[in-house]
Amino acid sequence: MESAGPFTQKLWETVHTVYQQIIDCSYIKRLTDGTLPDRWFMHYLSQDVLYIIDDSRALAVTAARAENPEEMYFFLQLAKDGLDIERALQDTFILQFQIPKAAGKSPAFHAYADFLLNHAFHSPYPVAVSALLPCFWVYYKAGDFVLKNTIVNNPYQRWIDTYSGEEYRQYTERFIDITENLGQKADSDIRSQMLSVFTEGTRHELLVFEEAARQ
Protein backbone atom coordinates (compact mmCIF):
# COMPACT_ATOMS: atom_id res chain seq x y z
CA MET A 1 0.00 0.00 0.00
CA GLU A 2 1.77 3.11 -1.28
CA SER A 3 1.34 6.80 -0.62
CA ALA A 4 -0.83 8.87 -2.95
CA GLY A 5 1.55 11.82 -3.28
CA PRO A 6 4.19 13.89 -1.49
CA PHE A 7 2.14 14.63 1.63
CA THR A 8 1.18 11.03 2.41
CA GLN A 9 4.71 9.98 1.48
CA LYS A 10 5.95 12.31 4.21
CA LEU A 11 3.41 10.83 6.62
CA TRP A 12 4.69 7.32 5.98
CA GLU A 13 8.35 8.30 6.16
CA THR A 14 7.72 9.92 9.53
CA VAL A 15 6.20 6.76 11.06
CA HIS A 16 8.46 4.22 9.35
CA THR A 17 10.44 3.57 12.54
CA VAL A 18 7.27 3.01 14.58
CA TYR A 19 5.87 0.73 11.87
CA GLN A 20 9.08 -1.30 12.02
CA GLN A 21 8.58 -1.62 15.78
CA ILE A 22 5.07 -2.93 15.12
CA ILE A 23 6.13 -5.71 12.77
CA ASP A 24 9.05 -6.55 15.08
CA CYS A 25 6.94 -6.67 18.25
CA SER A 26 6.31 -9.99 19.98
CA TYR A 27 2.60 -10.05 19.15
CA ILE A 28 3.08 -9.72 15.39
CA LYS A 29 6.08 -12.06 15.33
CA ARG A 30 4.23 -14.80 17.18
CA LEU A 31 1.05 -14.31 15.19
CA THR A 32 3.15 -14.77 12.06
CA ASP A 33 4.98 -17.91 13.22
CA GLY A 34 1.88 -19.50 14.74
CA THR A 35 3.08 -19.42 18.37
CA LEU A 36 0.80 -16.61 19.57
CA PRO A 37 -0.38 -17.47 23.11
CA ASP A 38 -4.13 -17.82 23.40
CA ARG A 39 -4.32 -15.30 26.22
CA TRP A 40 -2.68 -12.63 24.05
CA PHE A 41 -5.16 -13.22 21.23
CA MET A 42 -8.11 -13.35 23.62
CA HIS A 43 -7.16 -10.01 25.12
CA TYR A 44 -6.63 -8.36 21.75
CA LEU A 45 -9.83 -9.63 20.18
CA SER A 46 -12.09 -8.96 23.18
CA GLN A 47 -10.76 -5.39 23.30
CA ASP A 48 -10.91 -4.94 19.55
CA VAL A 49 -14.67 -5.55 19.64
CA LEU A 50 -15.03 -2.58 21.99
CA TYR A 51 -12.55 -0.46 20.08
CA ILE A 52 -14.31 -0.95 16.73
CA ILE A 53 -17.51 0.55 18.18
CA ASP A 54 -15.68 3.73 19.19
CA ASP A 55 -13.77 3.82 15.91
CA SER A 56 -17.07 3.64 14.02
CA ARG A 57 -18.43 6.45 16.15
CA ALA A 58 -15.38 8.60 15.37
CA LEU A 59 -15.78 7.87 11.66
CA ALA A 60 -19.46 8.86 11.78
CA VAL A 61 -18.65 12.14 13.55
CA THR A 62 -15.92 12.86 11.02
CA ALA A 63 -18.34 12.07 8.18
CA ALA A 64 -20.73 14.72 9.48
CA ARG A 65 -17.92 17.27 9.20
CA ALA A 66 -16.78 16.22 5.72
CA GLU A 67 -16.14 18.93 3.18
CA ASN A 68 -18.07 17.27 0.35
CA PRO A 69 -20.80 14.62 -0.06
CA GLU A 70 -18.42 12.01 -1.50
CA GLU A 71 -16.21 12.09 1.57
CA MET A 72 -19.24 12.14 3.85
CA TYR A 73 -20.57 8.99 2.21
CA PHE A 74 -17.14 7.33 2.35
CA PHE A 75 -16.70 7.82 6.09
CA LEU A 76 -20.30 6.86 6.82
CA GLN A 77 -19.73 3.65 4.88
CA LEU A 78 -16.61 2.93 6.92
CA ALA A 79 -18.55 3.54 10.13
CA LYS A 80 -21.29 1.13 9.06
CA ASP A 81 -18.80 -1.50 7.95
CA GLY A 82 -16.98 -1.17 11.26
CA LEU A 83 -20.14 -2.10 13.13
CA ASP A 84 -20.71 -4.98 10.72
CA ILE A 85 -17.17 -6.18 11.44
CA GLU A 86 -17.86 -6.00 15.18
CA ARG A 87 -20.86 -8.27 14.77
CA ALA A 88 -18.88 -10.65 12.57
CA LEU A 89 -16.08 -10.82 15.13
CA GLN A 90 -18.53 -11.74 17.82
CA ASP A 91 -20.34 -14.28 15.67
CA THR A 92 -17.22 -15.91 14.28
CA PHE A 93 -13.97 -15.52 16.19
CA ILE A 94 -15.33 -14.82 19.66
CA LEU A 95 -17.36 -18.03 19.45
CA GLN A 96 -14.66 -20.04 17.68
CA PHE A 97 -12.00 -19.23 20.27
CA GLN A 98 -14.49 -19.10 23.17
CA ILE A 99 -13.30 -15.65 24.18
CA PRO A 100 -15.11 -14.13 27.17
CA LYS A 101 -16.55 -10.65 26.84
CA ALA A 102 -14.23 -7.93 28.18
CA ALA A 103 -15.36 -6.36 31.45
CA GLY A 104 -14.24 -2.96 30.16
CA LYS A 105 -11.70 -1.19 28.04
CA SER A 106 -8.05 -1.87 28.75
CA PRO A 107 -5.70 1.12 29.20
CA ALA A 108 -4.13 0.99 25.72
CA PHE A 109 -7.39 0.48 23.83
CA HIS A 110 -9.14 3.08 25.99
CA ALA A 111 -6.41 5.63 25.22
CA TYR A 112 -6.61 4.90 21.50
CA ALA A 113 -10.40 5.24 21.39
CA ASP A 114 -10.29 8.50 23.36
CA PHE A 115 -7.64 9.84 20.99
CA LEU A 116 -9.82 9.16 17.94
CA LEU A 117 -13.02 10.51 19.45
CA ASN A 118 -11.35 13.64 20.78
CA HIS A 119 -9.99 14.55 17.35
CA ALA A 120 -13.22 13.58 15.59
CA PHE A 121 -15.19 16.00 17.76
CA HIS A 122 -12.73 18.81 18.36
CA SER A 123 -9.95 19.00 15.75
CA PRO A 124 -10.16 20.52 12.27
CA TYR A 125 -11.62 18.08 9.77
CA PRO A 126 -8.29 17.28 8.00
CA VAL A 127 -6.67 16.57 11.36
CA ALA A 128 -9.51 14.26 12.40
CA VAL A 129 -9.07 12.36 9.12
CA SER A 130 -5.32 11.99 9.68
CA ALA A 131 -5.90 10.70 13.21
CA LEU A 132 -8.14 7.93 11.84
CA LEU A 133 -5.86 6.93 8.98
CA PRO A 134 -3.36 4.71 10.90
CA CYS A 135 -6.17 2.33 11.86
CA PHE A 136 -6.46 1.59 8.16
CA TRP A 137 -3.07 2.22 6.55
CA VAL A 138 -0.74 1.02 9.31
CA TYR A 139 -3.03 -1.85 10.27
CA TYR A 140 -3.35 -2.91 6.63
CA LYS A 141 0.42 -2.84 6.14
CA ALA A 142 1.03 -4.88 9.31
CA GLY A 143 -1.64 -7.36 8.30
CA ASP A 144 -0.19 -7.68 4.82
CA PHE A 145 3.21 -8.39 6.35
CA VAL A 146 1.72 -11.17 8.48
CA LEU A 147 -0.18 -12.60 5.53
CA LYS A 148 2.92 -12.77 3.35
CA ASN A 149 5.19 -14.24 6.01
CA THR A 150 2.96 -16.61 7.96
CA ILE A 151 3.72 -20.31 8.29
CA VAL A 152 1.72 -23.04 6.61
CA ASN A 153 -1.17 -24.32 8.78
CA ASN A 154 -0.99 -21.38 11.16
CA PRO A 155 -3.63 -21.99 13.88
CA TYR A 156 -4.69 -18.35 13.46
CA GLN A 157 -4.91 -18.57 9.67
CA ARG A 158 -8.62 -17.81 9.57
CA TRP A 159 -8.01 -14.59 11.45
CA ILE A 160 -4.96 -13.74 9.31
CA ASP A 161 -7.04 -14.19 6.16
CA THR A 162 -9.23 -11.28 7.21
CA TYR A 163 -6.34 -8.99 6.30
CA SER A 164 -6.50 -9.97 2.64
CA GLY A 165 -9.89 -8.57 1.66
CA GLU A 166 -10.03 -6.56 -1.56
CA GLU A 167 -12.68 -4.23 -0.13
CA TYR A 168 -10.43 -3.32 2.80
CA ARG A 169 -7.55 -2.60 0.41
CA GLN A 170 -9.76 -0.32 -1.68
CA TYR A 171 -11.02 1.50 1.41
CA THR A 172 -7.46 2.10 2.55
CA GLU A 173 -6.36 3.42 -0.83
CA ARG A 174 -9.31 5.81 -0.92
CA PHE A 175 -8.56 6.95 2.64
CA ILE A 176 -4.96 7.71 1.65
CA ASP A 177 -6.17 9.63 -1.42
CA ILE A 178 -8.49 11.77 0.70
CA THR A 179 -5.71 12.51 3.18
CA GLU A 180 -3.32 13.44 0.39
CA ASN A 181 -5.86 15.87 -1.07
CA LEU A 182 -6.55 17.44 2.32
CA GLY A 183 -2.85 17.76 3.05
CA GLN A 184 -2.18 19.39 -0.31
CA LYS A 185 -4.88 22.01 0.30
CA ALA A 186 -4.06 22.68 3.97
CA ASP A 187 -1.88 25.46 5.30
CA SER A 188 1.37 24.70 7.07
CA ASP A 189 -0.18 24.69 10.55
CA ILE A 190 -2.87 22.16 9.63
CA ARG A 191 -0.34 19.99 7.79
CA SER A 192 1.83 19.99 10.90
CA GLN A 193 -1.14 18.90 13.02
CA MET A 194 -2.02 16.18 10.50
CA LEU A 195 1.52 14.85 10.67
CA SER A 196 1.49 14.92 14.47
CA VAL A 197 -1.78 13.04 14.90
CA PHE A 198 -0.85 10.46 12.26
CA THR A 199 2.33 9.75 14.19
CA GLU A 200 0.46 9.56 17.49
CA GLY A 201 -2.16 7.25 16.01
CA THR A 202 0.58 4.93 14.73
CA ARG A 203 2.08 4.80 18.22
CA HIS A 204 -1.34 3.80 19.56
CA GLU A 205 -1.34 0.93 17.04
CA LEU A 206 1.96 -0.24 18.54
CA LEU A 207 0.79 0.17 22.13
CA VAL A 208 -2.29 -2.04 21.76
CA PHE A 209 -0.12 -4.88 20.42
CA GLU A 210 2.42 -4.40 23.18
CA GLU A 211 -0.33 -4.44 25.80
CA ALA A 212 -1.71 -7.73 24.47
CA ALA A 213 1.79 -9.24 24.68
CA ARG A 214 1.97 -8.42 28.39
CA GLN A 215 -1.05 -10.59 29.25
- Residue 69 domain flag: yes
Within 10 Å of residue 178's Cβ, how many Cβ atoms? 23
Q: In whole angstroms, what is the distance from residue 109 CA to residue 22 CA? A: 16
Report the chain's mean pLDDT, rounded to a whole number.
Answer: 92
Average the pLDDT over each of 5-19, 43-57, 119-133, 188-202 and give the range with the smallest value.
43-57
Average the pLDDT over each of 85-94, 140-149, 191-200 and give the range with the smallest value.
85-94
Query: CATH no. for residue 68?
Result: 1.20.910.10
Query: Would you state the pLDDT for residue 102?
Result: 87
- Residue 191 domain flag: yes
- Residue 97 domain flag: yes
- Residue 1 domain flag: no
Number of alpha carbons in the 13 Å side-chain half-sphere of residue 212: 27
Give the list of residues 6+ apart from residue 98 with CB closer than 8 angstroms, or none: none
Query: Would you state the pLDDT for residue 86?
Result: 65
Split at pLDDT 50, 70, 90, the class of 141 is: very high
Give yes or no for a contact between 68 and 127, defined as CB atoms under 8 angstroms apart.
no
Query: Would you state the pLDDT for residue 109?
Result: 97
- Residue 175 domain flag: yes
For the chain, the domain total comes to: 1
Average the pLDDT over each of 20-29, 113-122, 140-149 and give the range with the smallest value.
140-149
Share of the chain above pLDDT 90, in %: 76
- Residue 99 DSSP class: P
Domain span including residue 115:
6-212
Q: What is the pTM of this model?
A: 0.93
- Residue 51 domain flag: yes
Within 10 Å of residue 119's Cβ, how many Cβ atoms? 24
